[in-house]
Structure 1
Amino acid sequence: MAKLRVAYEYTEAEDKSIRLGLFLIVSGIVSLFILGFCWLNPALQDLQGKAANCTVLSVQLQTGELFECTFSCGADCKGTSRYPCLQIYVNSSEAPQARALLLHQDQQQLLANPKCSYIPPCERENEKNSDIVTHWQDYWEDEVGSQPFTCYFNQHLRPDDVLLRRTHDESVLLHCFLWPVVTFLVGVLIVVLTICAKSLAVKAEAIKKRKHS
């Protein structure tokens, strides 16, 4: 009876280990697909932009049209205010022909407002938003001026725009593949070790029976 109970407990532990291993294998595969579609695809689009040398052609503050932004002043306090549109036109060494390209802070701001080069941190008062944009205008006119700087240009995705910085870098690719693959390999390792342990236990039991017979 004791031997049967020990064998039952051993089998139950094996089943739990195999279920854990299979769960990790499935989790690794599913997470790889989720990260691939939700995170890896936009990261790859961002990384396709080539690093180039850009120089400022013109800095224009469009005061006639104001854009809305959403500010937060607490847990249950939100509202909208407005800011003027700053347009910074540059030329890029990677552009196929010399033409004015609109500069954007990053991919997120480009998608949020493709008409403007800068979206300020949204304040409640419109005047504060205007002051922030004006300060940014002075920075590009006075401090940057005609000095070349690094920008990122994607001729196929956005031929009329350049980015000042990338939202993602190569580490995103590493994390997208590393953790799902590690989870998958740990699951496979658990299943393989459990099967090997069971196989060794069966062989050891067979050897004992041969010795006693």
Structure 2
Amino acid sequence: MGKLKIAYEYSEAEDKSIRLGLFLILSGFVSLFILGFCWLNPTLQNLQCKATNCTVLSVQQLIGELFECTFTCGTDCKGTSLYPCLQIYVNNSQSNSRALLHYDEQQLLLNPKCSYIPPCERDNQKNTETVTHWQEYWKEEIGSQPFICFFNQHRRPDDVLLKRSHDENVLLYCVLWPLLTLLVGVLIVVLTICAKTLAVKAEAIQKRKCS
């Protein structure tokens, strides 16, 4: 009776291990799909931007043209304020053409007309001061010095980025953790099946010896 109970508990533990392994395998596949759809595709597109040298041609604010941004001031508190449009035109050495500089791809998508979107404040004057400070930085600190920018000739030939939103590390994290989950799941299933096979063989050998 005791042997039957031990065998039953062992069989139940095996089933739990296999279920756990299958769950981890399924989680790994689902994670790879979700991360691949949400992160990997835009990251690969972003990484197509090639590094090149840019030189400032002009730095100016558009007179009389303001854009809206959304600020938060606490829980359930939102509002809109205004900021001026700063345009920084640069010479792209790769194509030797004039292009509009943007801080990163996110800002480019939010406002393709302007080079910089400030952290949104409730006070319009603070937004204006931030943009003006950024303007002075490019005029006085950078000037005619060449700097690294990122350019995608096929997607946006008239725009360049100061920073890329994603880098190779995102690719690593997108693939690494789902693959680890998948491999651990496979390992658990394989080890459980091997242990079960060895137990069956050992039991068969024991029976032959007894007979």
Normalised-by-shorter TM-score class: over 0.9
Q: 2 CA distance for matches of 1:133 and 1:66?
A: 12
Count the aligned residue pairs.
211
Q: 2 CA distance for matches of 1:84 and 1:53?
A: 27
Aligned counterparts, 1:1-213, within 5 A: 1-95=1-95, 98-213=96-211
Partner AA of 1:113 in structure 2: N
Q: Percent identity, aligned pairs only? A: 77
Q: 1 CA distance for matches of 2:171 and 2:72?
A: 33
Please report how far the alpha carbon of residue 99 of structure 1 lies from its aligned counterpart in structure 2 after TM superposition: 2.4
Q: 2 CA distance for matches of 1:6 and 1:63?
A: 84
Q: Deviations over 1:121-152 (max 9, x none)?
A: 11111111111111111111111110000000
Partner AA of 1:53 in structure 2: N
Q: 1 CA distance for matches of 2:204 and 2:189?
A: 23
User: Is contact 1:50-1:94 (8 Å) kept?
Assistant: no
Please report how far the alpha carbon of residue 75 of structure 1 lies from its aligned counterpart in structure 2 after TM superposition: 1.2
Q: 2 CA distance for matches of 1:53 and 1:151?
A: 6
Partner AA of 1:195 in structure 2: I
TM-score, normalising length: structure 1: 0.97
Please report how far the alpha carbon of residue 177 of structure 1 lies from its aligned counterpart in structure 2 after TM superposition: 1.0
Q: Deviations over 1:13-71 (max 9, x none)?
A: 00000000001111111110111110011111111000000000111101311100011
Gaps of 5+ in 2: none
Partner AA of 1:138 in structure 2: E
Deviating above 6 A after TM superposition, structure 1's stretches of 4 or more consecutive aligned residues are none
